[in-house]
Structure 1
Amino acid sequence: MREFSLPRMVETLRAGGLADSVYELADREPDRIQFARRHATEPGRWTPVTAAAFRDEVLALAKGLLAEGVRFGDRVALMARTRYEWTLFSYALWSVGAQVVTVYPTSSPEQVRWILARTRAVAVVVEGEDDAMTVGAVCDALPGLRSIWQMDQGCVTELWQRGAGVHDELVVERRWLVEPRSTAVICYTSGTTGQPLGCMITHANLAAECDTLFAGWNGLFAEPGVQPAILAFLPLAHIYGLMVQVLCVRGGILMGHEPELSPSTLLPSLQSFRPTCVFAVPYIFERILGAARNSAQDDGKRGVFEKAMDTAVRYATAVEKQARGAGKGPGPGLRAAHAVFDHMVYRRIRAVLGGRVRYAVTGGSPFSRELGLAFAGAGITVYNGYGLTETTAAITAQPPGRPRQGTVGRPMPGTAVRIAPDGEVWVRGGTVFAGYVDEPAATGAALRDGWLSTGDIGFLDGDGYLTITGRKKDIIITSGGKSVSPQPLEERLRAHPLISQCVLVGDNRPYVGALITLDAEMLRRWHQVVGARLPVGREHAAANKALHEEIQQAVSAANRSVSRAESIRAFRILPKEFTVADGLLTPSLKLRRDAVYKVCAAQIEQLYAS
Structure 2
Amino acid sequence: MLQTSLEVEVLFANARELVDYIGEKYRGNKALGMPVSEDDLDEYIWYTYDDVRRYAKAVAYYLTEVLKLRKGDKVALISENRAEWGLCALGVVYNGFVLVPIDARMSANEIRMILEHSESKVVFISSGQEKAILDEFDLRDVVEHVIYVDKAESEKGMSLERIVEKYGDKEIKKVNEVDPEDLFEIVYTSGTTGLSKGVMLTHRNIMFEVSVTPPLANLSEKDRLLSILPLNHTYESTAGLYAVLSSGCSILYSPTLSPRVVIDLISRNKITKMLVVPLFLEKITDAIIRNIEKSGVVLKSFLKMLLGMASVSKSLTGSNAISKRLLSLIRHKSGLSSIDLFVSGAAPLPARVSNFMELLGFNIIQGYGLTEASPVVSLNPINKPKNISIGKSLPGVEIRINEPNEDGVGEIWVKGPNVMRGYYKNPEATAEVLVDGYLRTGDLGYMDDEGYVYITGRIKNVIVTHGGKNVYPEEIEEKLNVSPYVLESLVVGRKIDEKDMSGEEIFAYIVPDFGYIEFEKETPIHKIDFKEIEKMIDNVVRELNSKLQEYKRIKGYKVLTEEFPKTSTRKIKRYLFQKNDTL
Coordinate RMSD, CA, aligned: 2.9
- Residues 295, 19 of structure 1: alpha-carbon distance in 2 compared, 3 angstrom cutoff: farther
Q: Is the 8 A contact 2:481 2:487 kept in 1?
A: yes
The answer for unaligned runs of 5 or more in structure 2 is 405-409, 497-503
Report whether the alignment pairs 1:591 with 2:545. no
- The offset of 1:160, in angstroms, is 4.5
Q: Which moved more, 1:108-117 or 1:165-174?
A: 165-174
The answer for unaligned runs of 5 or more in structure 1 is 323-328, 579-583, 604-610
Among 141, 144, 147, which residue is 2:145 paired with? 147
- Residues 450, 78 of structure 1: alpha-carbon distance in 2 compared, 3 angstrom cutoff: same
Letter in 1 for 2:566: L
Return the TM-score normalized by structure 2.
Answer: 0.88
Q: Is the 8 A contact 1:516 1:574 kept in 2?
A: yes
C-alpha separation in 1, matches of 2:328 and 2:171: 59
Matches of residues 90-169 of structure 1 in structure 2 within 5 Å?
A: 90-134=89-133, 137-139=136-138, 145-152=143-150, 154-155=152-153, 158-162=159-163
Among 460, 466, 472, which residue is 2:459 paired with? 472
- The offset of 1:281, in angstroms, is 0.6
Among 214, 239, 251, which residue is 2:234 paired with? 239
Which residue of structure 1 aligns with residue 402 of structure 2? 420
C-alpha separation in 2, matches of 1:162 and 1:31: 21
Matches of residues 1-400 of structure 1 in structure 2 within 5 Å?
A: 2-8=1-7, 10-12=8-10, 15=13, 17-39=14-36, 42-66=40-64, 67-134=66-133, 137-139=136-138, 145-152=143-150, 154-155=152-153, 158-162=159-163, 170-171=171-172, 173-174=174-175, 177-218=177-218, 221=219, 227-243=222-238, 244-300=240-296, 309=307, 312-320=310-318, 338=323, 341-349=326-334, 352-353=335-336, 355-400=337-382
Letter in 1 for 2:82: R
Among 403, 409, 418, which residue is 2:391 paired with? 409
C-alpha separation in 2, matches of 1:564 and 1:309: 35
Letter in 1 for 2:331: Y
C-alpha separation in 2, matches of 1:96 and 1:369: 45
Q: Which moved more, 1:276-285 or 1:73-82?
A: 73-82
- The offset of 1:22, in angstroms, is 2.3
C-alpha separation in 2, matches of 1:254 and 1:424: 38
Give the secondary structure class of the aligned counterpart of 1:500.
strand
Residue identity over aligned pairs, in percent, reads: 25
Letter in 2 for 1:357: I
C-alpha separation in 2, matches of 1:254 and 1:316: 33
Letter in 1 for 2:47: V
C-alpha separation in 2, matches of 1:114 and 1:93: 21
Give the secondary structure class of the aligned counterpart of 2:570.
coil
- The offset of 1:106, in angstroms, is 1.0
C-alpha separation in 1, matches of 2:233 and 2:458: 20
Return the TM-score normalized by structure 1.
Answer: 0.85
Which residue of structure 1 aligns with residue 550 of structure 2? 564
- The offset of 1:517, in angstroms, is 0.5
Q: Is the 8 A contact 1:313 1:374 kept in 2?
A: no
- Residues 248, 565 of structure 1: alpha-carbon distance in 2 compared, 3 angstrom cutoff: same
- The offset of 1:239, in angstroms, is 1.0
Q: Which has the higher helix share?
A: 1
Letter in 1 for 2:574: R
- Residues 558, 366 of structure 1: alpha-carbon distance in 2 compared, 3 angstrom cutoff: farther
Which residue of structure 1 aligns with residue 485 of structure 2? 498
- Residues 270, 29 of structure 1: alpha-carbon distance in 2 compared, 3 angstrom cutoff: closer
**Cα offsets for 1:258-307 (capped at 9, x unmatched):** 24223233222222222111111101101111222233344346666566
C-alpha separation in 2, matches of 1:585 and 1:148: 29
Letter in 2 for 1:406: I
**Cα offsets for 1:104-132 (capped at 9, x unmatched):** 11101221122112111112222234544
Letter in 1 for 2:236: G
Give the secondary structure class of the aligned counterpart of 1:105.
coil
C-alpha separation in 1, matches of 2:324 and 2:129: 51
C-alpha separation in 2, matches of 1:79 and 1:311: 50
C-alpha separation in 2, matches of 1:49 and 1:461: 45
Give the secondary structure class of the aligned counterpart of 2:494.
coil
**Cα offsets for 1:452-509 (capped at 9, x unmatched):** 0000000001111100010000011233333210001112222333322101123333
C-alpha separation in 1, matches of 2:371 and 2:508: 29
C-alpha separation in 2, matches of 1:525 and 1:550: 14
**Cα offsets for 1:398-448 (capped at 9, x unmatched):** 123011121111111101111111511111111111111101011111100
Give the secondary structure class of the aligned counterpart of 1:19.
helix
Which residue of structure 2 aligns with residue 459 of structure 1? 446
Letter in 2 for 1:455: G
Q: Is the 8 A contact 2:512 2:537 kept in 1?
A: no
Q: Is the 8 A contact 1:313 1:373 kept in 2?
A: no
**Cα offsets for 1:356-381 (capped at 9, x unmatched):** 21221110000022211211111112
- Residues 562, 4 of structure 1: alpha-carbon distance in 2 compared, 3 angstrom cutoff: farther
Q: Which moved more, 1:437-446 or 1:71-80?
A: 71-80
Which residue of structure 2 aligns with residue 608 of structure 1? none
- The offset of 1:194, in angstroms, is 3.5
Letter in 2 for 1:393: P
Q: Which moved more, 1:66-75 or 1:372-381?
A: 66-75
